Structure 1
Amino acid sequence: MKMRKLLPFIATTAIATSVFGFAASADDFNITVNLASEPQTMDPQKNTTLDGGTMMLHLFEGLMTWEDSGEEQVGSDGTCDSSTLTYGQAESYDREENEDGTVSYTFHLRDGIKWSDGVPVTANDFAYAWRRLVDPNTAADYSYMIANVVNAQDIIDGKKDPSELGVEAVDDKTFKVTLSTDLAYFEELCAFPALMPVREDIIEANGDQWTYDVDTYVSNGPYKMTDWTHNSEIVVAKNDEYYGAEELGPDTITFKLMDDQNAMLSGFNSGELNFIEDVPQAEITSLVASGDLKILDYIGTYFVCFNNEQEPFDNPLVREAFTLAIDRTYIVEKVTQQGQVEAGGFVPYGVYDADGATGDDFRTVGGDYYAPTDADYEANCEKAKELLAEAGYPDGEGFPVVEYLYNTSEAHKAVAEALQFMWEDVLGVTVTLNNQEWVSFIDSRKKGDYSIARHGWIADYNDPMTFIDMWETGGGNNDAKYSNADYDALLDQIRGTMDQGERMKLMHEAEDLVIGQDYGVCPLYFYTQKYMLSDGIKGLHYTTLGYFFFGHTSAE
């Protein structure tokens, strides 16, 4: 889900042929980027991946959106700015506290907003999309994201009809949302891909196939899809119907679909690619040292996902033993080598806490659940052996052969091999490795067709809840199949209070359960974001949620 060099093609004569084989005028500016391989889906409500979300943020626009703050991103060397939240399809909103304790947000849509086929965007497009998100028939993994909207949870549970969701198209220009309890991060949710509007007439006529044909893939964002050559590229062009079309930079953005790091770097060095997020593992140290590979802050956690429903990882003693047997310092310093920080908990640094005004974030307040650095690794290993023996497998005797699943990538392979060695060396167990292509890997992990699997989670908004609510029993993104009734009860309490101090206290208690008590998943390190960008391109901006925005880039 992640990162090159040389100018994008700019014709030097009135008419010329670019390196990509098409004719261009002297004023044309086209950029080619690589985020990942073939996306799992291009349906806003069904997408769960960062690469898919980044593409959708260029194709669709929510009530709110992200814009260039004009402030240089930390570590960017002037090539990348930070992003700030602003109005998108809405031009304003009103907030009202109701007598029954609910809170309503009434959004007023911009004048003249249109879909890429020229049809006006209306409040009903948002109402339809939000209802579709919680409709069990959609099977959207992110349905829980708007559980605080009135009746949402009952709809998700099949107890009420999607038409009863607390959203309303008051008229074509007015969209109203009613929350059972207010959310501190509600504005950020309104910029999230899963809450982008979609067209009811298109989807009802074409079903799930609506995303596969550029004629039916109608979008309301700055760009529109003009070509999708599967396992090769997705090409998007300026959407002339977009209200801000005149301010856009690239005429086209080509998203190359690749997962071979050597090919990525080669493509960047040849000028075929202007932006990449990944490079061969062996090249990282030299590229960072030369300044060609940039490192940015990133709110996310790389972790190991145990299948909590299957033996032997249905036993918390086994999960804790596997967690403590890992030398995280070795992994970040010798394997990944990108400035990552060893993880002593699940929620990473940089996420707001109630004490954030004093400079403390959620991780700082919560502390570590185990000693994450190699200073205490020997003691961790001794305890891991004791735990495995207590679980009935002294020195690994009788422990079944288990498999670690990861998606094809040199970086993930290197981490997998390190984990395999540590678990075998410390615990005396046998761990085999299995890699799958991205889409197959996601499907296997989601179905629970694994024993141990690599995982990573990037914040969807800056609040601990984006990490905490993943592990609700039956949750769409709960690939660990973790289940704890006390944890679910805490989530209900968190969703039911507006008191920020109380929310944070409850979320710390929830993390105490999933990590400190049950060891439901095994955090390895907190992410950093790497990327390479062609010399001479300016206007790139980024949010620490992991999204890059190419729509306002230009060539110097």
Structure 2
Amino acid sequence: TITIRDDLWWSDGVEVTAEDYVYTLKNLMFSDWLNYPYQTDWQETVNGETVFVEPEVANETTFVIKRKTVDPEFLDGSIYSLTPYPKHIAIKYEGDVKAFTQAEEFNNLTYTGNLGPYKFKEWIRNDKYVVERNPDFYLGQDTGAPYFEQYIIKLFGTPAAVHAALEAGDIQYTGIEPEQVAKFKQMEGIKVYTVPTRSYDLIIYNLRNNGWEGLDNKEVRQALSMSIDKQAVINSIRLGFGDPAFSFIPKPSPWYTEEGVSKFGFG
């Protein structure tokens, strides 16, 4: 059961309701005509058959999604990332993928009302994407958010171009490669922060028919994994920026644990 706020509206003043969410799911994301790329996030296997979950409107601010099976990742992976479309606008383009994808309201994001902290302002292909402060943001009265009048995302073709822009002061923030850290730490006016991330690198063994048959043996795979000096890999490739990982759940995750984890490799 999902309950939405009762103080949300689209740009034309129409209130955002549970009907918008359910319409987005059933008529857009689950449809054949729109070719939504993440349909499998909303599917489950029941008695050997792949079916969609069942969203239903309960009232104006509440909708229910019924499942036949249990998926502990469904809430975090699908529900939290669900972005609704306004039914009263989208229904005009339903069934026509060209009209839908070229609709001015959707391309220019002029329909978003008070849903987000920023509003679309400008997009120059291969150059920059600009958003400006949304004075109607639903959290604005409580927190004063957002805190910037304008936000610009600059696009660059190469890492060298990014580095040059940072050195020149044309941009205020970017990620840099490990081999660039020492250089930028010495520059006046630039601060380098090392922060944990949720990404990880991994070795995947080929268990398909065209792979080495020895890899079908679990003990062989474990032996190969045991032989890897993970800290040496981190030191030589990541220049020390990283920690040995023994699970697909990264350390910054609130679900990280070492309990019951078999550690293959060393470091």
Does the alignment reach a TM-score above 0.5? yes
Q: Which residue in the other structure is 1:346 paired with?
A: 248
Q: 1:189 to 1:241 in 2, by over 3 A?
A: farther
Decide whether aligned partners of structure 1 residues 118 and 325 sit closer, same or farther in structure 2, where only a CA change above 3 A counts: farther
Deviation at 1:292, TM superposition (A): 2.2
- State yes or no: 1:223 paired with 2:223: no
Q: Measure how far apart 1:267 and its partner are.
A: 1.5
Match of 2:18 in 1: 123
Shift in Å, 1:289? 8.0
Query: Can you list the C-alpha shifts for 1:441-472, whole angstroms capped at 9, x where unaligned?
Result: xxxxxxxxxxxxxxxxxxxxxxxxxxxxxxxx
Residues 463-502 of structure 1: per-residue CA shift (max 9 Å, x gap)? xxxxxxxxxxxxxxxxxxxxxxxxxxxxxxxxxxxxxxxx
Aligned residue pairs total 248
Q: Deviations over 1:497-519 (max 9, x none)?
A: xxxxxxxxxxxxxxxxxxxxxxx
Structure 2 residue 238 is matched with structure 1 residue 238: no
Contact 1:236 / 1:254 at 8 angstroms: preserved in 2?
A: yes
* TM-score, with structure 2 as normaliser: 0.70
Q: 1:344–1:372: 8 Å Cα contact kept in structure 2?
A: no
Question: Which has the higher relative contact order, 1 or 2, with Cα contacts under 8 A spaced 6 or more apart?
Answer: 1
Please name the residue that 1:176 is paired with: 64
**Secondary structure at 1:276 match in 2:** coil
1:371 corresponds to 2:265: yes
Preserved contact between residue 131 and residue 150 of structure 2 (Cα < 8 Å) = yes
Partner of 2:172: 274
Q: Distance in 1 between matches of 2:226 and 2:50?
A: 40
Superposed counterparts of 1:124-523, under 5 Å = 124-131=19-26, 132-135=28-31, 138-147=34-43, 152-153=44-45, 159=51, 165-180=53-68, 188-189=76-77, 192-193=80-81, 195-200=82-87, 201-202=89-90, 204=94, 206-210=99-103, 214-215=107-108, 218-219=111-112, 220-245=115-140, 247=144, 248-258=146-156, 260-277=158-175, 279-287=176-184, 292-304=191-203, 309=208, 311-312=210-211, 316=215, 320=221, 327-337=229-239, 339-351=241-253, 361-368=256-263, 370-373=264-267
- Opposite residue 296 of structure 1, the aligned amino acid is V
Is the Cα–Cα contact under 8 Å of residues 167 and 176 in structure 1 kept in the other structure?
yes
Q: Could you tell me how far 1:323 is from its partner in structure 2?
A: 5.8
Change (3 A) 1:304 1:209: farther
Residue identity opposite 2:86 in structure 1: R
Whichever residue aligns with residue 156 of structure 2, its letter is M
Residue of structure 2 equivalent to 1:107: 3
Q: Name the TM-score, length of structure 1 as normaliser.
A: 0.38
Distance in structure 1 (CA, Å) of the matches to 2:10 and 2:70: 30
Amino acid across the alignment from 1:266: A
Secondary structure, aligned partner of 2:201: strand
- 1:230 shift after superposition: 2.3
* Residue aligning to 1:13: none
1 CA distance for matches of 2:209 and 2:125? 35
Query: 2:127·2:156 contact (CA, 8 Å) conserved in 1?
Result: yes
Structure 2 stretches lacking a partner, 5+ long: none
Q: Distance in 1 between matches of 2:101 and 2:224?
A: 40
**Separation (CA, whole Å) in 2 of partners of 1:286 and 1:351:** 30
Specify the code of the residue in structure 2 equivalent to 1:218.
Y
Structure 1: how far apart are the matches of 2:106 and 2:60?
Answer: 27
Shift of 1:293: 1.8
Q: Is the contact made by 2:5 and 2:61 (CA closer than 8 Å) also made in structure 1? A: yes
Q: Distance in 1 between matches of 2:14 and 2:83?
A: 16
Distance in 2 between the 1:371 and 1:270 partners?
Answer: 43
- Give the Å deviation of 1:299: 2.4
Deviation for aligned residue 1:294? 1.0
Q: 1:266–1:192: structure 2 CA closer, same or farther, 3 Å change rule? A: farther
Q: Is the 8 A contact 1:301 1:348 kept in 2?
A: yes
Q: Structure 1 stretch 117-126 or stretch 320-329: which is displaced more? A: 320-329
In structure 2, do the counterparts of structure 1 residues 175 and 116 end up closer, same or farther at CA, with 3 Å as the change threshold? Answer: same
